[in-house]
Amino acid sequence: MGMLSWDSLAGLAKIPLGHLVLAGMATFVVVAIVVNVLSQILFRDPNRPPVVFHWIPFFGSAISYGMDPYKFFDDNRKKFGDVYTFVLLGRKVTVALGPKGNDFVLNAKLSDVSAEDAYTHLTTPVFGNGVIYDCPNHRLMEQKKFAKSSFTVPAFRSYVPIIVEEVRKYWLKSPQFFGQDPNRASASTHLMTAMPELTIFTASRTLQGKAIRAKFDESFAELYHDLDRGFTPIHFVFPHIPIPATFRRNAAQKKVSDTYMDVIRDRRQRGDFSDFDVINAYLKDAIYKDGTRMTDREIANMQIGILMGGQHTSSATSAWALLHLGADPELQDALYREQIEVCGESLPDVTYENLQNMPLLNYTIRETLRMHPPLHSLMRKVRSDLAIEGTNYVVPKGYYVLASPGVPMMDSNYFKNPTTFQPSRWAETKNEINLDDSAEGVTISKGAKSPYLPFGAGRHRCIGEHFAYVQLGTILSMFIREFTWSLPEGRGVPKADYTSMVTLPSEPSNIIWTRRKISEKKL
Ligand code: X2N
Ligand code: HEM
**Per-residue pLDDT in tens (0 to 9) along the chain, 523 residues:** 445 565 665 565 677 888 999 999 999 999 999 999 999 999 889 999 999 999 999 999 999 999 999 999 999 999 999 999 999 999 999 999 999 999 999 999 999 999 999 999 999 999 999 999 999 999 999 999 999 988 999 999 999 999 999 999 999 999 999 999 999 999 999 999 999 999 999 999 999 999 999 999 888 999 999 999 999 999 999 999 999 999 999 999 999 999 999 999 999 999 988 889 999 889 888 999 999 999 999 999 999 999 999 999 999 999 999 999 999 999 999 999 999 999 999 999 999 999 999 999 999 999 999 999 999 999 999 999 999 998 999 999 999 999 999 999 999 999 999 999 999 999 986 544 444 443 332 233 345 789 999 999 999 999 999 999 999 999 999 999 999 999 999 999 999 999 999 999 999 999 999 999 865 444 4
Q: How far is CA 376 from CA 382, 387, 512, in A?
A: 19, 24, 29
Our CA dihedral for 431, 435, 439, 444, rounded to 10 degrees, sits at 40
- Nearest partner of 210 among 285, 133, 272, 141, judged by Cα: 272
Q: What's the CATH number where 295 sits?
A: 1.10.630.10
- Test site for ligand 2: of 123, 435, 462, most ligand atoms within 8 A of the Cβ: 462
CB 123 within 8 A of CB 170: no
State the pairing for strand pair 91-96/400-403.
parallel
Torsion of CA 15, 17, 23, 27, to 10 degrees: 120
DSSP 189: E
State yes or no: cis peptide before 374, omega within 30 of 0: no
Q: Give the distance from CA 470 to its chain's centroid.
A: 18
* Structural contact between residues 385 and 194, judged by C-beta atoms closer than 8 angstroms: no
Residue 125 phi/psi, 5-degree rounding, is: -65, -25
Domain range spanning residue 164? 122-350+457-515
Q: Concatenated DSSP letters for 245-280?
A: HHHHHHHHHHHHHHHHHHHHHHHHHHT---S-SHHH
Residues 6+ apart with CB under 8 A from 193: 176
Identify the bridge partners of residue 95 per DSSP, sorted by sequence position: 84, 402
Q: What count of residues does the chain have?
A: 523
In a domain, residue 214? The reply is: yes
Strands (E), 336-492: 378-382, 386-387, 394-395, 400-403, 483-486
d(CA 453, CA 414): 12
The DSSP bridge pattern shows strands 400-403 and 394-395 to be: unpaired
Residue 368 near ligand 2, beta carbon < 6 Å: no
Ligand 2 and 308: CB distance under 6 A: no
Exposure b/e, 43-77, CB count within 10 A at least 16 = b: eeeeebbbbbebeebeebbbebbeebbeebbeebb
Instruction: Count CA atoms within 13 Å of residue 245 on its CB side.
Output: 15
Ligand 2 binding pocket includes 313 (Cβ within 6 Å): yes
For residue 253, which of 363, 131, 361 has the smallest C-alpha distance?
Answer: 131
Ligand 1 centroid–CA 258 distance in Å is 26
Q: What is the structure's pLDDT at 446?
A: 46
In a domain, 228, yes or no: yes
Which amino acid residue places its CA nearest to atom 29 of ligand 1?
Answer: 309
Q: Is 140 in the pocket of ligand 2 (CB under 6 A)?
A: yes
Whether 95 is in a domain gets the answer no
Q: Of all atoms in ligand 2, which is nearest to the CA of residue 439?
A: 37
From first CA to last CA, the distance across the chain in angstroms is 85
CB 458 within 8 A of CB 447: no
User: How far, in whole angstroms, is CA 34 from its chain's centroid?
Assistant: 38
- Say yes or no: CB of residue 313 within 6 Å of ligand 1: yes
Question: Is the ipTM beyond the 0.90 threshold?
Answer: yes
Residue 329 lies in a domain: yes
- 38: Cβ contacts below 8 Å, ≥ 6 apart: none
Mutate to test the pocket of ligand 1, among 133, 311, 462, 501 (most ligand atoms within 8 A of CB): 501
Phi, psi of 293 (to 5 degrees): -100, 140
pLDDT at site 520:
45
Residue 222 lies in a domain: yes
What are the counts of helices (DSSP H) followed by strands (DSSP E) for the chain?
21, 12
Check if the beta carbon of residue 321 is closer than 8 Å to that of residue 472: yes
Q: Is the separation of the CB atoms in 376 and 404 below 8 Å?
A: yes
Residue 383 within any structural domain of the chain: no
| Closest residue to atom 24 of ligand 2, CA basis | 464
Half-sphere exposure of 99 toward its Cβ, with a 13 Å CA cutoff? Answer: 13
Q: Strands 186-190 and 510-515, how do they pair?
A: antiparallel
What residue owns the CA closest to ligand 1's atom 12?
233
Counting ligand 2 atoms within 8 A of each CB, the residue from 126, 455, 459 with the most, and so the one to mutate, is: 455
What is the domain count for the chain?
Answer: 1
**Is position 294 within any domain?**
yes
- 70, 113, 123: residue to mutate for ligand 1 pocket, most atoms within 8 A of CB: 123
Other C-beta atoms lying within 10 Å of the C-beta of residue 437: 20
**Per-residue b or e along 460-484, where b marks 16 or more CB atoms closer than 10 Å to that residue's CB:** bbbbbbbbbbbbbbbbbbbbbbbbb
In angstroms, what is the span from residue 311 Cα to ligand 1's centroid? 14
For the Cβ of 314 lying below 6 angstroms from any atom of ligand 2, the answer is yes
Report whether residue 499 contacts ligand 1, using a CB cutoff of 6 Å: yes
Contact 251, 226 (CB under 8 A): yes
The Cα 207–Cα 217 span in angstroms is: 16
CB-side neighbour CA atoms (13 Å) of 519: 11
Q: Which ligand is nearest to the CA of 143?
A: 2
Q: Where are the beta strands (DSSP E) in 105-261?
A: 113-114, 186-190
Return the percent helix, strand and coil in the chain, to nearest 5: 50, 10, 40
Between β-strands 394-395 and 496-497, what pairing exists: parallel, antiparallel or unpaired?
Answer: unpaired
- Helix 465-482 with 153-173: angle, nearest 10 deg: 40
- 213 within a domain of the structure (yes/no): yes
